[in-house]
Chain A
Amino acid sequence: MTEWVKITIDGKSYSAPRGRYLLEVCEELGIYVPNFCYYYKLPPQAACRMCLVRIENIRKLQTACTVRVQDGMVVTTNSDEIIGARQGMVDFILANHPLDCPMCDKGGECELQYMSLTYGNLFGRYMETKEHRDEYQLSPFIWLDPQRCILCYRCIRVCDEWVGDHALGVLGRGAHSEIIGNKRDGTLECENCGNCVEVCPVGALTSANFRFRARPWDIEDTITTCTYCADGCQLKLSVRDGKVVRAWAKDMTGINMEFLCLKGRYGNEFVNSPDRVHAPLIRRQGRLEQASWDEAIGLVASRLKEITATHGAESIACLGSPRLTNEVLYVLNKFARDVIGTPWISHIAEHDWRPLFNMLTAPLATQNDIRSGKKTLLLIGGNPPEYNPLTAYSLRYAVRENGSRLIIVNARPLLRLPEESEFFHIRPGSEPALLLALLDESQLNLVAEITNLSVERLGALRRALEESEDLVVLIGPEVSGAALEAAGALGARWATERRRVRLLPLMRFNNSLGALDMGLTGDLPAPEDIGAHIKALYLVGVDPIRTYGDRWREALARAEFVVVHELFTTETAEYAHVVLPAMSFAEIDGTFTNNAGQVQRVRRALESGGERRPDWVILRLVAKGMGVEMDVRGSAMAMLKDLAERVPGYEGITYEQIDAEGAVQTHRALVKEVSWNDLLDRLNAQVAALDRNRDMLTEPPALGTGLFERGTLIEHVPLMAQAFGWDGSRSRDDR
């Protein structure tokens, strides 16, 4: 229970929760106290001393960011004394800070500019020459200008607390202190998430992609959802002259608060790539040649009709990408089932998550669920810092702020998760056995043998769950098949009246869950079937060669007809007969569903150049060419309305609701009765088939295993390609 105390600020009395920092209380009451080094939910530093206030009965001025409110406190936030003190502080900060704002990249959104103008002296009182230090590159993504640094330590605290990298530190003392990276030469070796750049109040830390490219006043920001992992961070895309120049975290109201990872922050410039397909391409004499839309749509429609007539509708397979919006996937599903009439409508899934959702007995955990209140967090498999960075951030937050208990079960030790966590080191591949131990106490001996954990340790794990009052289970992609069903059933097994259980699948793509919800199955045709009884492939944004390897190369070569909607001429597009230029996530409206089942908006940030069209428009045109008028309404908003009427769980979701609430939770039917015997039989069979002799892995996965991975989109980001030494994308002649 929070205890409320009476305090007086500037002659007015207020009540405030005891123990809160005075600065936060003032901020909530709408009394502005200037500050630099304070940052929401970061440990206080009191380095800038801008937030000085007078507290009665304390001899000196106090920093509001470190004083906790107490009963009867009498505070003055504005007086001649305080104004003088602030002017002195600004003078100190500017003692070594260059005054060449036009040169500086932060100009226009700089907190120091604002503070100096509002609270500083008109003329500085220091006549001494300023110490000059040169700007240098900390990493391919981050630049540091030490002389602009005001030593607020926000970057260091963010790196420690948000990211867990501990990559930044301070060198030297006093006025000679300097922010420095963790490598010997002072540069950075970290995941390059750029959160330090985001929180820097001045122009000391800058992003390599945004430096000098624009000013805050000539860019337009659009709030949208990230298109990489399934966590679904909210980001602001800044656009100047029809080009994405940077991505910024939305603000504290997004599900990611102000956190973004490397890919979310620096991975969006593929939208600008000159390599994008800009007009329809048709294969003529073995080469893809530019064609008109009418020609391309006519060809696709007539060939699909021909193939349906000769081999039947079942010979056409439609595959969608889990990166597409819900609206596109919904229309694709309709197109496949109603227009073509094929049962082959699937999405490219790296992992089959359907067993979990078929046996779901507990609600999905949102990031907010992880971060609020004291919990027990059980992470089975997965590698959140690399594949689901926001989840890793939330885990660190939960442990740091709420003292939550984090239990990690993994075949390898994981980096960048809190040291306070308990680690259960299991044999690689033995995750299903562990779930057996959680469901069935009588099998502990067997599980102990398979997982290489002692029976006592397994007992301790079960006890930890028994002791918990609020349990969140995070399930990595190592858990599959019956084990995934077992994970879904954990709710039925462990939830009691006083224990709440929630589940979070660590999915891979931004709309993996949306694709399942929209009715795209995960059943792909086997590559051997292509050419045999699958004659044509309709691929929307997918690159099976990239995802599944060379077996698909031959398969695609055998297909009679391949249509691709793509942004780039991928390896798959090279086997296509028709390539239709689609729009990227930054150019359309729509929604994504994240791994917690929350629907969030994707907003159009810029005009698409060339003759590109949104996927649903292309699908409707093809349907029209085949003589079927699809019941697809004109705008993404209208499609969501349609979709909300038909897709279970999405009832009543509208853009207005998403705009107002940020993220809207979908409703998922929970399984009431679990047939335990069946489930345990299946799980036992899966566990019996496990390899019991695999060697234990002791090395943690390398930094950047997931984050620095090359992908179909990210390889077209110039900064990424340069930083990781990827060879340039294939030249135009190769098309």
Chain B
Amino acid sequence: MAVLNVIKAIAKGLALTAKHIPQNRITIQYPDEPVLIERRFRGLHILNLDENGKEKCVGCYLCAIACPADAIYIEAAEDPRPYEERIGVDRRYAKVYNIDYGKCIFCGYCEEACPEDAITMGPDFELAWERREDMILTKDQLLASNRKISPRLKLIP
């Protein structure tokens, strides 16, 4: 009898499953479908550029001090060349700009602290790495010019 009871229970369960298969799916079908992301979502940071492609960051260290998780590391340097030739908007720029995503808590304080609108929180949410070293993203990986927004996300207009 016990066996019969078990088979009955399984059949009941499968029936419920079968009933739901043709119905509308209410979860996000990631990664087959893009995820809808709010405009103000706080994802992977972007280091912005000005209209001429110069880095906006002046290496003032304010984001680093605002960061409650101590995830930002900066080394500022000097580029005395004229505006046309240099890297940043001003003669002071961040030579090294690292964010450790093992530490970052995505609070957005860095964005708020930035006096130059150089760092903003981007929409990227795909934050998985295989090694701890890879979790530290360098300036090159964070710069807007080197960033491709993932095809698997869509910003809510």
Measured between beta carbons, the chain B residues less than 8 angstroms from A217 are 61, 65
Stretch at the interface among A65-73, A207-215, A557-565, A615-623: A207-215
The answer to whether A107 and B60 touch across the interface, beta carbons within 8 angstroms, is yes
The answer to whether A102 and B115 touch across the interface, beta carbons within 8 angstroms, is yes
The answer to whether A218 and B65 touch across the interface, beta carbons within 8 angstroms, is yes
The answer to whether B75 and A102 touch across the interface, beta carbons within 8 angstroms, is no
Which residues A207-252 have CB closer than 8 A to chain B? 211-215, 217-218
Which residues B22-65 have CB closer than 8 A to chain A? 58-62, 64-65
The answer to whether A212 and B92 touch across the interface, beta carbons within 8 angstroms, is yes
Scoring A103, A135, A211, A212 by chain B CB atoms within 10 A of each residue's CB, the highest score goes to A212
Q: How far is the CA of A145 from the CA of B78 in the complex (A)?
A: 14
Q: Which residues of A contact B (CB under 8 A)?
A: 100-103, 107, 135, 211-215, 217-218
The answer to whether A213 and B75 touch across the interface, beta carbons within 8 angstroms, is yes
Scoring A100, A103, A211 by chain B CB atoms within 10 A of each residue's CB, the highest score goes to A103
Q: Which residue of B lies closest to A137 (CB)?
A: B80
Interface residue B140 (Cβ < 8 Å from any Cβ of A) = no
Q: A491 to chain B: closest CB distance in Å?
A: 55
The answer to whether B64 and A102 touch across the interface, beta carbons within 8 angstroms, is no
* Cβ contacts A to B, 24 pairs, < 8 Å: A100-B58, A100-B90, A101-B60, A102-B58, A102-B60, A102-B62, A102-B116, A103-B58, A103-B90, A103-B92, A135-B91, A211-B78, A212-B59, A212-B76, A212-B92, A213-B75, A214-B61, A215-B60, A215-B64, A215-B65, A217-B65, A218-B61, A218-B64, A218-B65
Interface residue B9 (Cβ < 8 Å from any Cβ of A) = no
Q: Which of B60, B75, B77 contacts A103 (CB 8 A)?
A: B60
Measured between beta carbons, the chain B residues less than 8 angstroms from A213 are 75-76
Main secondary structure, interface of A, reads: loop
Which residues B62-83 have CB closer than 8 A to chain A? 62, 64-65, 75-78
Total A-B residue pairs with C-beta atoms closer than 8 Å? Answer: 33
The answer to whether B75 and A215 touch across the interface, beta carbons within 8 angstroms, is no
Q: How far is the CA of A108 from the CA of B59 in the complex (A)?
A: 14
Q: Which residue of B lies closest to A212 (CB)?
A: B76
Measured between beta carbons, the chain B residues less than 8 angstroms from A103 are 58, 60, 90, 92
Q: How far is the CA of A211 from the CA of B80 in the complex (A)?
A: 13
Q: A195 to chain B: closest CB distance in Å?
A: 23
- Known pairs A102-B115, A211-B78, A214-B61. 17 more at Cβ < 8 A? A100-B90, A101-B60, A102-B58, A102-B62, A102-B116, A103-B58, A103-B60, A103-B90, A103-B92, A212-B77, A212-B78, A213-B76, A215-B60, A215-B61, A215-B65, A217-B61, A217-B65
Measured between beta carbons, the chain A residues less than 8 angstroms from B62 are 102
Measured between beta carbons, the chain B residues less than 8 angstroms from A218 are 61, 64-65
Q: A191 to chain B: closest CB distance in Å?
A: 25
Q: How far is the CA of A100 from the CA of B89 in the complex (A)?
A: 13
Q: How far is the CA of A100 from the CA of B58 in the complex (A)?
A: 10
Measured between beta carbons, the chain A residues less than 8 angstroms from B75 are 213
Measured between beta carbons, the chain A residues less than 8 angstroms from B65 are 215, 217-218
Q: A103 to chain B: closest CB distance in Å?
A: 5
Measured between beta carbons, the chain B residues less than 8 angstroms from A107 are 60
Measured between beta carbons, the chain A residues less than 8 angstroms from B91 are 135
Measured between beta carbons, the chain A residues less than 8 angstroms from B78 are 211-212
Q: B57 to chain A: closest CB distance in Å?
A: 10
Q: How far is the CA of A102 from the CA of B76 in the complex (A)?
A: 11
Measured between beta carbons, the chain B residues less than 8 angstroms from A101 are 60, 115
Q: Which residue of B lies closest to A214 (CB)?
A: B61
Q: Which 6 pairs show the lowest CB-CB distances between chains A and B?
A: A102-B60, A212-B76, A215-B61, A102-B115, A217-B65, A103-B58
Measured between beta carbons, the chain A residues less than 8 angstroms from B116 are 102
